[in-house]
Amino acid sequence: MATKLWGGRFAEKTAKEVDEFNASISFDYKLWPYDIEGSLAHVKMLARQKIISQKDSSSIQKGLKSIAQDIAQGRFEWKTDQEDVHLNIEAELIDRIGPVGGKLHTARSRNDQVALDARLYCRSQAKIILKELNNFQRVLVQLAEENIEVILPGYTHLQRAQPILLAHHLLAYVEMAARDSERICDALKRIEILPLGAGALAGTTFPIDRHFVAKELGFSRVSNNSLDSVSDRDFMIELLSACALILTHLSRLSEELILWSSFEFFFVALPDNFCTGSSMMPQKKNPDIPELIRGKTGRVFGNLMGLLTVMKGLPLAYNKDMQEDKEGLFDSVETTQTCLRIMTLMLQKTKFRAEVMKKATQEGFVLATDLADYLVTKGIPFRDAHHIVGQAVLYCQTKNKTLEDLSLEELQKMSKAIEQDVFSWLNIENAVNRRKSFGGTAKSEVKKQISQIKKRL
C-alpha cells in the first residue's frame, strides 16, 4: 500500500524530504509489541460494544497476530513513507485482510494510541529496571557479607575521617538502589493509567468502554480528561527522572571504583575481563567500564532535560513536537538497564584489598574522634576534648607519629584525664564496633542491616 492512510485531503504527494523528516519509524518500531497489544484490546472492545461485528473483530485480531508473528521473526519491512509504527501496522493490516482492516481505527486516534503504546512500553521497561535494581542490591549485600571483617577509612572531603566497615560502605549503595526502586514503583502508579478512548483530543461519539480496555491491558485506572490524556508525558518524565537518579548513583559508585583501583588507593582489583589495555603503554589496565557508566550518566541527564524542554511550551493537546519524546526515552531506559546489568556483573568479580584498606586506617589520624570521645567519657566537655586532640595531632605530626604510637606519658601531657584504658579506644576494630548507634558502622549494626535487607529483597 503506497498511499497515505490520511491521504484523502491532499492533492499532492508528500515530498520525499518531508517523508524522511516527518517519519519516526526508524526508532518507534520498538513500540510494535505494545501497539499490537493495545490494538487487540481496542478491537475486542469495539465488538463487545457492538461498534463493529464479532466477525470483523476476529479477522482484525487474526491479522494483527499474523503481523506480530512476522515482525517478531524479522520478516516485516518497515516503510518510511508510512511514517510511524502505528500507520505501518495499520496499512499492513488492510493489505492483508482487506478494507475490514480499516475498522480497527474506529473511535481511536494516533494521539491516544501513541500515548497508550508509550505507557505500555514504560510499564514493561520499568519492570525490567526493578529486576535489575534487585540484582544489583543482591550482589552488594553478598559482597558486604563476604567482606564483613574488612575495615577501611571512611572519607569526607576525600580526606580520611573515621574507620568504617567496607560492608557499611557497600550497603550505602543498597539504600540508594532501594530508593530508586521506590521511585520506579511510584512512577508505575502513574504510568498504568489508560489514555485510550481520548480520541484525537475530545473523546469519541462511539459508545466505547474504556474500563474494559483498561482491564484487558491490566491498567488500574482510566484517565479522566481526554485533552490531558493525549497531552501528558509526565509519566515519561518521571521515569526518565528516576533513571537519571539511578545513573547518578551508579556514577558515584563508578567514580569510587575508578579511584580505588588506582595505584594511589589500590583498594580494589577490578576483574581483568572488565578492563581494557592501552595501545601504547603496556602496563595499563584501565577501568573503562565504570568510566563509561559515569560518562553515560550525562546522556541520561540530557534526555530528561530534553523532554522537559520539549514539553514546556506546548499548547494543548497533541503536537508533533511530542514525537521527539521517544529516542531519549528509549535511550535512557536501555542505558539504565545496561549500566545496572554491567555494574552488577563487574561487582560480582571485584576483589577488595583488605590489607591495603587496613593500612590506610593506620595513617591519617582516623581515631582522633575516638580519642576525643574517650576524653568526654572522663568528664571533659566535647569542645575541650576536640581542642586537646587537635593539639595531639599537631604534636604527632612534628614527631612523625600516629595517635596509636603515643605512650601513656605523652598522652597524659595532653590531658591528665587520660589513663591506661585509652588504648582500647585507640584501636581501629574497637572504634568501628563502638559505633552502635542505629544505622552506624559497628559490625553488630551492619549485620542487622544485612539481615533486614535480605528479608526485603
Contacting positions for ligand ARG (CB under 6 A) = 24, 28, 84, 110-111, 114, 318, 320, 322-323
What is the closest distance, in whole angstroms, from the C-beta atom of residue 35 to ligand ARG in the complex?
Answer: 10
Nearer to ligand ARG, 28 or 216 (CB): 28
Nearer to ligand ARG, 29 or 266 (CB): 29
What is the closest distance, in whole angstroms, from the C-beta atom of residue 110 to ligand ARG in the complex?
Answer: 4
What is the closest distance, in whole angstroms, from the C-beta atom of residue 320 to ligand ARG in the complex?
Answer: 6
**Residue 157 annotated as catalytic:** yes
Nearer to ligand ARG, 26 or 58 (CB): 26
26, 53, 262, 278: the catalytic one is: 278
Rounded alpha-carbon distances, angstroms, from residue 443 to 166, 176, 253, 351, 449 = 10, 21, 22, 20, 10
What is the closest distance, in whole angstroms, from the C-beta atom of residue 92 to ligand ARG in the complex?
Answer: 16
End-to-end CA, the chain: 52
**Residue 261 annotated as catalytic:** no
Other Cβ atoms closer than 10 A to 352? 19
With vertex at residue 445, the alpha carbon angle to CA 439 and CA 447, rounded to the nearest 5 degrees, is 125
What is the closest distance, in whole angstroms, from the C-beta atom of residue 17 to ligand ARG in the complex?
Answer: 18
What is the closest distance, in whole angstroms, from the C-beta atom of residue 119 to ligand ARG in the complex?
Answer: 13
Nearer to ligand ARG, 133 or 310 (CB): 310
Nearer to ligand ARG, 108 or 123 (CB): 108
Nearer to ligand ARG, 9 or 320 (CB): 320
What is the closest distance, in whole angstroms, from the C-beta atom of residue 363 to ligand ARG in the complex?
Answer: 59
Nearer to ligand ARG, 207 or 315 (CB): 315
Nearer to ligand ARG, 84 or 238 (CB): 84
What is the closest distance, in whole angstroms, from the C-beta atom of residue 83 to ligand ARG in the complex?
Answer: 7
SS (H, E, C) the chain: CCCCCCHHHCCCCCCHHHHHHHCCHHHHHHHHHHHHHHHHHHHHHHHHCCCCCHHHHHHHHHHHHHHHHHHHCCCCCCCHHHCCHHHHHHHHHHHHHCHHHHHCCCCCCHHHHHHHHHHHHHHHHHHHHHHHHHHHHHHHHHHHHHCCCCEEEEEECCEEEEEEEHHHHHHHHHHHHHHHHHHHHHHHHHHCEECCCCCCCCCCCCCCCHHHHHHHHCCCEECCCHHHHHHCCHHHHHHHHHHHHHHHHHHHHHHHHHHHCCCCCCCEECCHHHCECCCCCCCCCECHHHHHHHHHHHHHHHHHHHHHHHHHCCCCCCCHHHHHHHHHHHHHHHHHHHHHHHHHHHHHCCEECHHHHHHHHCCCCCCHHHHHHHHHHCCCCHHHHHHHHHHHHHHHHHHCCCHHHCCHHHHHHHCCCCCCCHHHHCCHHHHHHCCCCCCCCCHHHHHHHHHHHHHHC
Tell me which residues are annotated as active site.
157, 278
